[in-house]
């Protein structure tokens, strides 16, 4: 029976293919030994994950009652009840705690050991109903492992099977971490959909970087869909059509071709200079995650790389990449860009991007030991990266970008760390560009408000609107429950963005936007009107933004921008934005 599901379309386009049900917790978990003194901490991590799953089940239950009627409600409520019973069963949760303490296994491994034990016993049960509960037990375990992956665990390797699947595979998951999705660069899938997630989570950002359709916040897709079912994903509208009939399939095949044609047409302006109608030159730069993204950057005709999210070199591995390995990655990008700017952001780990490894047991939250805070707390890790970037600086036009700066002290410490790395390299007689530019991300409201501190000491700024919005509005960018409140047009956000650009321009300090706003056509003219001249975005969005730049006249934007900045009523503001974009 055909039905549709609605979620947040986070990456446009249409995919038609076969569902492959996975979980971020594929249950092919990593195994590692916990030092005895960390066993308690590991048990706490496990308990926290169990509590998170309990909360998820509670939420699911209330959503079922709100959105379903009749038999469907009863069936789905029964399934939640069974899952809750499993979760509360001491055999399910108590034994893994004992295993962690006794055998010093990491939490995922302990849970997997216990699961194997339980599943073996299920095979011996003669009652068919009870035997069928095996799937439920697995699903609950998957939920806990998924929760653990957000709690400082290893993340999870997606099933090896993915490599062998057809190109029309559409992944259906409860949740996917950025560490999962980055693997799709090597093993392409046609699209993915998840129950959880927000529009500017790194998972969503990666979907746009991969240029594959994606929908998040579907709430129960993982439960409602079946393996190998034919589904259509409309990533622009946020619609999933399950088991479509021939007429619908034909309609969507036509739409899919149209979408591809539109994108192909854009390649005609690849070598055109990005200039507004009144002749103002706009820099369009690319955001990348890995050196392999260079092909896409070149295909987009970008003016350089405005954001290399270097932390993706650190994901899905137990160790951290050493200086030579990092140097090679940075050098490859620097040389590949042939003198065009390459802005390498130092490690922005934490929140939804967690490092693996037994010594990384506690994940930091978005407000925790993230990005520069982590690097200043782990000077050895920071030093290795700074040395590697500096060494790469004589192979191209490399610049260093420090994420999440909030205070004078952090800025001074970060600059001192760069200086230290330079002195070490000098002593060792290694080559580097002593004049490497150093910039800072303005993505914490404190930095935006106290901007002069940063303007005085940095060579350039890059506005991280994704985090600036998250921190200004107190909206977790990964949480679908508050995704509707995540608003780039909130007057507080507009005020901050406008003020950063204005102050930087009058101080003569180059300023870019590298958050998702820069690649969103809805905001191109708004940002131009606020005085922005450097935009950094995923290569897949770049030509569409260029096309918008080519047909924009700066002088005619000004009066509308002035009204937008004064508007208080969100509807009026949106109407003004439409006028701007008309």
Query: Rule CB under 6 A: which residues touch ligand PEP?
Result: 205, 307, 309, 348, 443, 464-467, 514-515
In the complex, the smallest distance separating the C-beta of residue 10 from Mg ion, rounded to whole angstroms, is 17
The tokens of 111 are what? 């849970």
CA atoms in the 13 A half-sphere facing the CB of 13: 21
In the complex, the smallest distance separating the C-beta of residue 109 from Mg ion, rounded to whole angstroms, is 32
- Helix/strand/coil for 344: strand
Nearer Cβ to ligand PEP (411/514): 514
- CA dihedral sign, ordered 447, 312, 299, 547: negative
The four Cα atoms 439, 441, 444, 445 give a dihedral, to 10 degrees, of: 70
In the complex, the smallest distance separating the C-beta of residue 385 from ligand PEP, rounded to whole angstroms, is 16
Residue 156, C-beta contacts closer than 8 angstroms, at least 6 positions apart = 24, 25, 26, 28, 29, 30, 108, 145, 146, 149, 177, 179, 180
For residue 465, the partner it binds in ligand PEP, Mg ion, none, with Cβ less than 5 to 8 A by kind, is ligand PEP
For residue 392, the partner it binds in ligand PEP, Mg ion, none, with Cβ less than 5 to 8 A by kind, is none
- Helix/strand/coil for 38: helix
In the complex, the smallest distance separating the C-beta of residue 181 from ligand PEP, rounded to whole angstroms, is 13
Q: Is 409 exposed, middle or buried (0-12, 13-18, 19+ CB in 10 A)?
A: exposed
For residue 514, the partner it binds in Mg ion, ligand PEP, none, with Cβ less than 5 to 8 A by kind, is ligand PEP
The catalytic residue among 20, 83, 174, 202 is: 202
Nearer Cβ to ligand PEP (13/306): 306
CA R_g for the chain = 25
Nearer Cβ to ligand PEP (176/307): 307
311 near Mg ion, rule: CB under 5 A: no
For residue 520, the partner it binds in Mg ion, ligand PEP, none, with Cβ less than 5 to 8 A by kind, is none
Rounded distance, CA 231 to CA 243, Å?
6
For residue 303, the partner it binds in Mg ion, ligand PEP, none, with Cβ less than 5 to 8 A by kind, is none
Nearer Cβ to Mg ion (349/543): 349
In the complex, the smallest distance separating the C-beta of residue 443 from ligand PEP, rounded to whole angstroms, is 5
The catalytic residue among 83, 375, 395, 514 is: 514
DSSP state of 3: E
Nearer Cβ to Mg ion (80/179): 179
Rounded distance, CA 23 to CA 118, Å?
20
Residues in region 436-455 near Mg ion by CB under 5 A: 443
CB 177 within 8 A of CB 155: yes
- Tokens 């002290």 belong to 409
User: Which residue in the set 7, 96, 396, 464 belongs to the binding site for Mg ion (CB under 5 A)?
Assistant: 464
Count, residues near Mg ion per rule CB under 5 A = 3
In the complex, the smallest distance separating the C-beta of residue 501 from ligand PEP, rounded to whole angstroms, is 15
* Of 58-66, 126-134, 229-237, 459-467: span binding Mg ion (CB under 5 A): 459-467
Rounded distance, CA 375 to CA 310, Å?
13
The answer to whether 105 is a known catalytic residue is: no
CB 179 within 8 A of CB 89: no
Nearest in space to 136 (alpha carbons), one of 80, 73, 74, 215: 80
User: Which residue in the set 30, 467, 480, 516 belongs to the binding site for Mg ion (CB under 5 A)?
Assistant: 467
CB 193 within 8 A of CB 216: yes
* Of 71-79, 186-194, 372-380, 466-474: span binding Mg ion (CB under 5 A): 466-474
Nearer Cβ to ligand PEP (15/313): 313
For residue 309, the partner it binds in ligand PEP, Mg ion, none, with Cβ less than 5 to 8 A by kind, is ligand PEP
The tokens of 393 are what? 């600086």
At residue 407's C-alpha, the angle toward residues 404 and 410, to 5°, is 75
In the complex, the smallest distance separating the C-beta of residue 309 from Mg ion, rounded to whole angstroms, is 9
In the complex, the smallest distance separating the C-beta of residue 286 from Mg ion, rounded to whole angstroms, is 16
Nearer Cβ to ligand PEP (30/443): 443
User: What is each CA distance from 505 to 18, 91, 276, 533, in whole angstroms?
Assistant: 50, 63, 18, 10
Q: Tell which phi-psi region holds residue 531, choosing left (phi > 0), alpha (psi between -120 and 50) or beta.
A: left
The answer to whether 202 is a known catalytic residue is: yes
Nearer Cβ to Mg ion (303/467): 467
Nearer Cβ to Mg ion (301/515): 515
Nearer Cβ to ligand PEP (440/515): 515
Q: Across 90-238, where does the E strand assignment appear?
A: 169-173, 191-194, 214-216, 230-234
Q: Across 182-275, where does the E strand assignment appear?
A: 191-194, 214-216, 230-234, 239-242
* Of 52-60, 289-297, 357-365, 457-465: span binding Mg ion (CB under 5 A): 457-465
Rounded distance, CA 421 to CA 441, Å?
20
Largest CA distance in the chain: 79
CB 418 within 8 A of CB 438: yes
In the complex, the smallest distance separating the C-beta of residue 57 from ligand PEP, rounded to whole angstroms, is 30
Nearest in space to 288 (alpha carbons), one of 271, 269, 312, 254: 312
For residue 343, the partner it binds in ligand PEP, Mg ion, none, with Cβ less than 5 to 8 A by kind, is none
For residue 151, the partner it binds in Mg ion, ligand PEP, none, with Cβ less than 5 to 8 A by kind, is none
For residue 196, the partner it binds in Mg ion, ligand PEP, none, with Cβ less than 5 to 8 A by kind, is none
The tokens of 194 are what? 């998840």
In the complex, the smallest distance separating the C-beta of residue 440 from ligand PEP, rounded to whole angstroms, is 12
Residues in the chain: 582
Q: 2: how many CB neighbours lie within 10 A of its CB? A: 11
Q: How distant is the alpha carbon of residue 581 from its chain centre? A: 27
CB 316 within 8 A of CB 179: yes
For residue 539, the partner it binds in Mg ion, ligand PEP, none, with Cβ less than 5 to 8 A by kind, is none
Catalytic residues: 202, 514
The site for Mg ion (CB under 5 A) is made up of: 443, 464, 467
């Amino acid at each position: 029976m055909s039905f549709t599901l609605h979620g947040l379309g986070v990456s446009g386009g249409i995919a038609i293919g076969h569902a492959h049900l996975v979980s971020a917790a594929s249950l092919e978990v990593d195994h590692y030994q916990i030092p005895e003194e960390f066993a308690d901490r590991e048990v706490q991590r496990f308990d926290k994950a169990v509590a998170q799953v309990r909360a998820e089940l509670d939420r699911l239950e209330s959503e079922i009652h709100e959105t379903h009627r009749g038999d469907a409600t009863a069936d789905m409520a029964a399934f939640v009840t069974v899952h809750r019973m499993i979760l509360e069963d001491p055999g399910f949760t108590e034994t893994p705690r004992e295993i962690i303490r006794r055998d010093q296994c990491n939490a995922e491994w302990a849970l997997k050991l216990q699961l194997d034990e339980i599943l073996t016993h299920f095979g011996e049960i003669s009652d068919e109903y009870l035997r069928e509960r095996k799937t439920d037990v697995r699903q609950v375990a998957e939920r806990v492992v998924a929760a653990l992956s957000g709690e400082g665990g290893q993340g999870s390797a997606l099933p090896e099977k993915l490599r062998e699947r057809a190109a029309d595979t559409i992944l259906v998951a409860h949740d996917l971490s950025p560490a999962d999705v980055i693997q799709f660069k090597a093993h392409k899938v046609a699209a993915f959909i998840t129950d959880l997630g927000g529009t500017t989570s790194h998972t969503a950002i990666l979907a746009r970087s991969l240029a594959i359709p994606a929908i998040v916040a579907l709430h129960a897709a993982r439960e409602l869909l079946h393996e190998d079912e034919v589904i259509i994903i409309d990533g622009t509208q946020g619609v999933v059509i399950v088991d479509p009939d021939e007429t619908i399939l034909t309609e969507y095949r036509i739409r899919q071709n149209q979408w591809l044609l539109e994108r192909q047409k854009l390649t005609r302006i690849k070598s055109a200079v990005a200039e507004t109608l009144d002749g103002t030159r706009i820099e369009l730069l690319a955001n990348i995650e890995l050196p392999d993204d260079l092909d896409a950057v070149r295909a987009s005709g970008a003016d350089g790389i405005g954001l290399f999210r270097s932390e993706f070199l650190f994901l899905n591995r137990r160790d951290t990449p050493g200086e030579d390995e990092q140097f090679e990655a940075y050098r490859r990008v620097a040389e590949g860009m042939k003198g065009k700017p390459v802005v390498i952001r130092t490690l922005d780990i934490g929140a939804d991007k967690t490092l693996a490894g037994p010594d990384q047991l506690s994940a930091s939250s978005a407000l925790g030991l993230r990005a520069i805070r982590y690097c200043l707390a782990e000077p050895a890790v920071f030093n290795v990266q700074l040395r590697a970037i500096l060494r790469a600086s004589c192979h191209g036009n490399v610049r260093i970008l420090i994420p999440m700066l909030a205070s004078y002290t952090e800025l001074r410490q970060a600059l001192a760390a760069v200086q230290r790395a330079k002195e070490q390299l000098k002593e060792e007689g290694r080559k580097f560009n002593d004049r490497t530019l150093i910039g800072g991300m303005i993505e914490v409201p404190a930095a935006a408000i106290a901007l002069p501190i940063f303007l005085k000491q940095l060579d350039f700024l890059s506005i991280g609107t994704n985090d600036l919005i998250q921190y200004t509005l107190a909206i977790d960018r990964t949480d679908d429950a508050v995704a509707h409140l995540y608003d780039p047009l909130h007057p507080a956000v507009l005020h901050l963005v406008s003020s950063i650009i204005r102050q930087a321009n009058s101080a003569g300090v180059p300023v870019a936007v590298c958050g998702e706003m820069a690649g969103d056509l809805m905001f191109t003219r708004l940002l131009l009107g606020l005085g922005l001249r450097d935009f950094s975005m995923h290569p897949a969005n770049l030509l569409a933004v260029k096309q918008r730049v080519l047909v924009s006249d700066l002088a005619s934007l000004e009066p509308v921008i002035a009204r937008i900045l004064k508007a208080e009523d969100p509807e009026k503001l949106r109407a003004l934005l439409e006028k701007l974009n008309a």
